[in-house]
Structure 1
Amino acid sequence: MADPATYRPPTGTIPEAPGVYRFHDARDRVIYVGKAVNLRGRLNSYFADLAGLHPRTQQMVTSATRVDWVTVASEVEALQLEYTWIKEHDPRFNVRYRDDKSYPYLAVTLHEEYPRLQVMRGEKKPGVRYFGPYSHAWAIRETLDLLLRVFPARTCSAGVFRRMRQIGRPCLLGDIGKCAAPCVGRVDAAAHRKVVDDFVDFMAGRTQGLQRRLEREMHAASDALEFERAARLRDDLAALRRALAKQAVVLPDGTDADVVAFADDPLQAAVQVFHVRGGRVRGQRGWAVEKTEDLSTGDLVHHFCSQVYGGGSGEGDVPRELLVPELPGDAAALADWLSAHRGSRVRLRVPQRGPKRDLMETVARNAGQVLAQYKLRRVGDLAARGQALDELAEALGMDSAPLRIECVDVSQLHGTDVVASLVVFEDGAPRKSDYRTFAIRGDRGVDDLAALGEVVRRRFARADAAPADTSADPLADASAGGGGPAPGGRPRRFAYPPQLFVVDGGQPQVNAVAAALAGRGVSDLTVVGLAKRMEELWLPGESFPVILPRQSAGLFLLQHIRDQAHDVAIRFHRKRRSRRMTESALDEVAGLGEARRKALLRHFGSLQRVSAADVAEIMEVPGIGRRTAEAVIAALRPGEPATPAPVAPAAPAGPAAQRDAADAQRPTAPLGR
């Protein structure tokens, strides 16, 4: 591991000009390429204190042994040189938008005498018009099967085409009317190309004219009593409309654009792109990448545009408009560079309102799902989970793999509504039946460390009476107490402790949990904290964290467990906060239990209407007498005397009157529980 100070350029030798720089390793391989408007300012940031750098940036600068640069005249030139060097050197520390699979396109070989419609993957070829990409090849074939009724173009390979021409007989598609059979001369090259041109126009979004033409031809055939031809045109029109129905209109103004959205955390990022042509979604793609430094959304947009669109040429690759969540700092230069690749003006925009903003939110939701799937991909099967558990045991110095892992997280809002969650994973998989939530007692002013201590005490109080030795069978019944068997002989869920206890936090949180465990007499348990900023692992009493590799299956598992605990805590916190905001004032009314509170709110519809009601109106709620109604008003309108209910004429004592009399004889109870 190299010290960056050993190869740092001398002060003042780095120019204050736009340019592109490269970091090289000990074998002189290029490991990172970047561009900057000010080379001196950008490169000096890499030689700052290592502790303040992003984990991947730390790894990069300590793997490098030298750095060089090239100055250019403008940002556009810097973009082009950066793209060229990334393609040439393929640096391992650059953000690389690579698919985990090859996306299929619907391709039209316009350069051939008899163009062919086919599914194509891989590198794009000149003279071929591409539509897509599609998620699956079957989606293309399904679309083609519908459209070949209307556009009977050739789909066979060159070998099949030559063979059919030699034997003078068309294939099955020619016999059933899904190919114009140019191989046997049913149509000449010009007529076949006209069919292909109509197909290209349809796929490019120019559909209205084609539908109107088919309708005119259908009515003309019907008027001429050519009913069979009219029926075929009717069926063709229906097939055309079914194909259009599969491509919903998302932008009514016929926009040609790519809609790009990101979801990221400090170490990973996912991007989704919807290709919209003629207002319809024609294709979709997605990537998940490792972040090499602390990148903003604008930085991610820059890397995405320069890599995904840099190698293309023509209208099929670079869209007319790019809708992005945030403009990068070099937006103007990036737009000029993309315009040069497209051959016409390209606009970068951030949608603010309307259908484009709604579509952006949809794409962002898809990006979030891609990121979640990416993080879970390596903990989804049994072999990967076993590898993750083994990696954790080795990294944390455990004697065996942690078969049961519990994780705790605290959620609060400025010291109010303090709650905690406890999630349980067994064999690397979630055991949701064992998930628990905790409402922290006396939550006002309670900090996270005190809350963690209370959770530990309450959780391990259940296992105090469990047998000391459960190594033979960790699921064996405990003998008695909170850890003993439940009725029927079934072991209680918390009858045995976990092997690994995870805390969402750093060194202070880990030390607080370790102290609480020591207070309970629990000593045979590994405690670790997962800090969010750099995803490092902290052990109690240690001055330095444990750093797992970025692609470690164990780290992915811990991140998933931590995220689960965080989600459960947030949901419980929101539920508690919502309940407090709606019912907190009624909680202090003596004699008003949960059922009466719900009945009261159901009757009036809101707490505000309850506050505006008088005693008589509150007494209309079943189960609420005079004294309770007066207590409700006193709680909601303190300092204001309750408006007495009108005195009704004497009548035979009924159930309500008997209840009021009992309330009057009952001693006055202080408000509150």
Structure 2
Amino acid sequence: MASDLPYKPKPGEIPTNPGVYRFRDAAGRVLYVGKAKSLRQRLSNYFAPLHTLHERTRRMVTTASSVEWTVVDSDVDSLQLEYMWIKEFDPPFNVRYKDDKSYPFMAITLADEAPRVIVTRNPKIRGAKYFGPYPKVWTVHDTIDQMIKVFPIRTCSDAAYKRAMQSGRPCFPGQIGRCGGPCSMKVTIEEHRAMVDDFIAFMSGGDSRFTKKLTAQMQQAAADMDYEAAARYRDKLASMDAVLSKSALVLPADEDADVFGIAEDELAAAVQHFIIRGGRVRGVRSTTIEKELDISGAELVDQLIQRVYGEANPDAIPKRVLVPALPDDARELELWLRERRGKSVQLKVAQRGQMADIMKTATLNASQALMLHKSRRSADYVSRSRALTDLQEALGLETAPLRIECYDISHLSGTNVVASMVVFEDGLPRKDQYRSFNIAETTDDTDSMYQVLSRRLARLNDDAETVDEAGNRKRFAYPPQLLIVDGGQPQVAAAARALKDAGRTDIALCGIAKRLEEIWLPDDDYPVILPRTSEALYLVQRLRDEAHRFAITHQRKRRKRDITTVLAEIPGLGETRIKTLLRHFGSVTALKNATVEEITQVSGIGASLAETISEHLKPR
């Protein structure tokens, strides 16, 4: 219960003001930082009865030993303070950003006497104008190569520029036609600055005036039979087209927006950030996030917006930010972004038209990125080998567990009890060897675990010497090196009892407890704590989550089959009418509570059949 948390504040101690709160562990480390419009209302959610909390929230509050808060004047102030504290303390239970590599940008160093265009990963060059980020370095170089054919601005280093200006001799890039700055001795500083302005104007919006001007010049040169000049204008137009073709026009030409597509599951999320300037996609950024607490999509958007724009240059913040869901403090986020940008910013959900199409594309890319992130990590041979080796060392096994079986129990309020068995070999799932179990009678989860493992081990012993026609041992009878059960000491004790009764001393056993992601061994008073970043823990978590998913899937199929069976016993109901009834009422319970008149409103159900259905479903 909530009283199990000794640090729970007394009634009335928590203020109702807006503010920011921090959970700390016994060592004083900040575990989680959050903000609230009403501190009392928000914190009361954490001190609800423990069994009602999500497993990862429960793990956080039971790991913590204290909670503290700071009252602020406004919701915007709480947002700013939350961001500062997250940056300062890096709390382990706030969302963790993974694979967030530094992306290459194109930058024009406007603070220099003669600005130059460079490729950089440093987003904080003083006075620089940035374009991007770009997914690959070569795409930035390719764009610059095309652009300097049309706007030949400076590309040489500061040292080369200084040397050329002092000696009066062109810099080396200028001698080979790769630099058009004043150091090339072809233009003045003022003329070069005007060319830089044109470069930026074109990159900012693909200004059509440049293409119109070049087209007119090419046509005039051709009319004057100056074919060499016409060819030069033609090549410049081709370079412009090459740059524009790399960033397709997706919105009106005056539209500046950032679009965030998010795909998530219980443990991770992938974000695709489309940067649209002048109606064209000018940059794409991909981020993978690991979630420690169970947070909603809107809360994830809240923290994502703070992180992306918290240290961004003011000119990098667009006038419109499109997200899949609005957080509760959307208005405060807009005010915060407005303060940083110096102009109004809209935070909105794209619901229709071109905006919705772009959001759909970003979300699709995020889904693929999440799937790719998980498959790459599990398919990486080095990571799998390290995981098995680390697991061997952590559990004190003689050899690495090449075959692992994981078991999970699932039920609905004590009914429809089922169990799942998933198999990993060499760190990869063997779905053809997954098994599910129905448990007719049981007293609790530990009894269910004992029953399932006893049945599994009995089959293993009975078929130990059985081989198929090809001389291979039956797959289900193949003995694992390690059994993992979903649970802590009680579940591990039940599994150990099943192993002992079956006479199996050659199979290792452990359990993973969701509260702290701790590994329990039989007869040990203290758990094995694997590092949060270890590949071994990732493998065990994946086994546990896969077993849980498989158990839930089996239970839902069984429940659906049971519901269909109940309705199929009613005379006059076939498969089509059963589907129609369930679609209309949503559940058998709702159908049981419906009147005859309500049932007759369903297409294809007459008064006589409605009375039969109602009579059949009445409680007896």
Q: What band does the TM-score fall into relative to the shorter chain?
A: 0.7 to 0.9
**Structure 2 counterpart of 1:554, from 531, 536, 543:** 536
Structure 2 residue identity aligned to 1:499:
Q
Q: Structure 1 420/4 Cα, relative in aligned 2: closer, same or farther at 3 Å?
A: closer
CA distance in 2, matches of 1:450, 1:8: 35
Q: Say yes or no: does 1:33 pair with 2:12.
A: no
**Shift in Å at residue 84 of structure 1?**
3.1
CA distance in 2, matches of 1:458, 1:10: 50
* Alignment match, 1:403: 402
Secondary structure at 1:114 match in 2:
coil
CA distance in 1, matches of 2:76, 2:67: 22
Q: Structure 1 350/73 Cα, relative in aligned 2: closer, same or farther at 3 Å?
A: same
**Shift in Å at residue 33 of structure 1?**
3.1
Question: Which protein has the larger Cα radius of gyration, Structure 1 or Structure 2?
Answer: 1
* Alignment match, 2:260: 260
Secondary structure at 1:34 match in 2:
strand
Q: Structure 1 254/506 Cα, relative in aligned 2: closer, same or farther at 3 Å?
A: farther
Q: Structure 1 236/508 Cα, relative in aligned 2: closer, same or farther at 3 Å?
A: farther
**Shift in Å at residue 13 of structure 1?**
2.7
Structure 1 residue identity aligned to 2:109:
T
CA distance in 2, matches of 1:411, 1:253: 54
* Alignment match, 1:435: 432
Secondary structure at 1:35 match in 2:
strand
Q: Deviations over 1:294-334 (max 9, x none)?
A: 21111111111122212234222x12111111110111111
Q: Deviations over 1:68-105 (max 9, x none)?
A: 43322221122122223334444454335476422221
Q: Deviations over 1:493-521 (max 9, x none)?
A: 66741112456799999999989989987
Does the CA-based 8 Å contact 1:298-1:329 persist in structure 2?
Answer: yes
Secondary structure at 1:309 match in 2:
helix
Structure 2: gaps of 5 or more residues: 560-574, 577-620
Q: Structure 1 15/533 Cα, relative in aligned 2: closer, same or farther at 3 Å?
A: closer
* Alignment match, 2:336: 337
* Alignment match, 1:481: 466
CA distance in 2, matches of 1:262, 1:330: 19
* Alignment match, 2:200: 200
Q: Structure 1 521/304 Cα, relative in aligned 2: closer, same or farther at 3 Å?
A: same
Secondary structure at 2:337 match in 1:
helix
Q: Structure 1 357/562 Cα, relative in aligned 2: closer, same or farther at 3 Å?
A: farther
**Shift in Å at residue 525 of structure 1?**
3.3
Superposed CA RMSD in Å reads: 4.8
CA distance in 1, matches of 2:318, 2:411: 45
Structure 2 residue identity aligned to 1:192:
H
Q: Deviations over 1:175-234 (max 9, x none)?
A: 443432421421111221222112111221233222111111111111122111110110
CA distance in 1, matches of 2:405, 2:159: 62
Does the CA-based 8 Å contact 2:205-2:253 persist in structure 1?
Answer: no
**What does 1:535-554 correspond to in 2, within 5 Å?**
550-554=532-536
CA distance in 2, matches of 1:261, 1:68: 34
Q: Structure 1 174/573 Cα, relative in aligned 2: closer, same or farther at 3 Å?
A: farther
More helix by share: 2
CA distance in 2, matches of 1:458, 1:104: 54
* Alignment match, 1:122: 122
**What does 1:239-278 correspond to in 2, within 5 Å?**
239-251=239-251, 255-278=255-278
CA distance in 2, matches of 1:515, 1:32: 39
- TM-score normalised by structure 1 residue count: 0.68
CA distance in 2, matches of 1:456, 1:95: 40
CA distance in 1, matches of 2:268, 2:397: 28
**Shift in Å at residue 155 of structure 1?**
1.2
* Alignment match, 2:71: 71
Secondary structure at 1:125 match in 2:
coil
**What does 1:621-636 correspond to in 2, within 5 Å?**
none
Q: Deviations over 1:459-488 (max 9, x none)?
A: 98587454xxxxxxxxxxxxx632x6x53x
* Alignment match, 1:669: none
* Alignment match, 2:582: none
Does the CA-based 8 Å contact 2:171-2:183 persist in structure 1?
Answer: no
Q: Structure 1 34/405 Cα, relative in aligned 2: closer, same or farther at 3 Å?
A: same
Q: Deviations over 1:103-140 (max 9, x none)?
A: 22111111222111011223413311111112222221
CA distance in 2, matches of 1:361, 1:519: 55
Secondary structure at 1:204 match in 2:
helix
Q: Deviations over 1:353-408 (max 9, x none)?
A: 34333332332233334444555666555554344234545666755431212457
Does the CA-based 8 Å contact 2:156-2:173 persist in structure 1?
Answer: no
**What does 1:296-315 correspond to in 2, within 5 Å?**
296-315=296-315
**Structure 1 counterpart of 2:482, from 488, 493, 500:** 500
Q: Structure 1 123/55 Cα, relative in aligned 2: closer, same or farther at 3 Å?
A: farther
Structure 2 residue identity aligned to 1:211:
T
* Alignment match, 1:140: 140
CA distance in 1, matches of 2:102, 2:399: 40
CA distance in 2, matches of 1:290, 1:148: 42
CA distance in 2, matches of 1:555, 1:456: 27
* Alignment match, 2:106: 106
Secondary structure at 2:229 match in 1:
helix
Q: Structure 1 72/175 Cα, relative in aligned 2: closer, same or farther at 3 Å?
A: same
Q: Say yes or no: does 1:216 pair with 2:233.
A: no
CA distance in 2, matches of 1:270, 1:249: 25
User: What fraction of aligned residue pairs are identical, expressed as a percent?
Assistant: 48
Structure 1: gaps of 5 or more residues: 467-479, 578-606, 609-673
CA distance in 1, matches of 2:24, 2:410: 45
Structure 2 residue identity aligned to 1:164:
A
CA distance in 1, matches of 2:25, 2:452: 50
Q: Structure 1 58/462 Cα, relative in aligned 2: closer, same or farther at 3 Å?
A: closer
Aligned length: 555
Does the CA-based 8 Å contact 1:463-1:497 persist in structure 2?
Answer: no
Secondary structure at 2:101 match in 1:
coil
